[in-house]
Structure formats: structure tokens, C-alpha cells
Amino acid sequence: MSTAKLEKTSALTEFFSKTSPETRRDILMDVISKANASQREVVQKAEAIKAARNESPAI
């Protein structure tokens, strides 16, 4: 009796197994760059909100 398992591979697994190291590096650096930009944007918005709250008179 065979106990062979059918395993699905995830898209991430396929990405890492089928792409060259150079391509992986390029894509991952792009993802990191976009994440950094997004984080900077969130921090800037938070600073703007904080500044606006500090400028408005207390009730």
C-alpha cells in the first residue's frame, strides 16, 4: 500500500525554487523599498496629525 502524499506548493515556494538569485534579490529589494516608502508615508501622516492636534486650542 502506498502512502504517497499529494502536496501543493505555494506560490512563494515556487518563487524561491524557480527564480535565479539575482531575480530574487531584485524583487525582494523592490518589495523592501516599497515597504520603506509606505512606512515613511505613515510616519509623515502621523506627524501631521500630531502637529495639527498640538496647534488646535484645547476645549
State the SS3 of the chain: CCCCCCCCCCHHHHHHHHCCHHHHHHHHHHHHHHHHHHHHHHHHHHHHHHHHHHHCCCC
* pLDDT score at 9: 87
Q: Tens digit of pLDDT per residue, the chain (59 long)?
A: 455 666 788 998 998 899 999 999 999 999 999 999 999 999 999 999 999 998 877 66
6 falls within a domain: no
50 falls within a domain: yes
31 falls within a domain: yes
* pLDDT score at 59: 60
Q: How many domains does the chain have?
A: 1
Pull the grid cell for residue 36. 520603506
* pLDDT score at 20: 96
Taking the CA atoms of 13, 18, 20 and 26 in sequence, report the sign of the dihedral they define.
Answer: negative
4 falls within a domain: no
11 falls within a domain: no
* pLDDT score at 26: 97
45 falls within a domain: yes
Domain carrying residue 24: 20-55
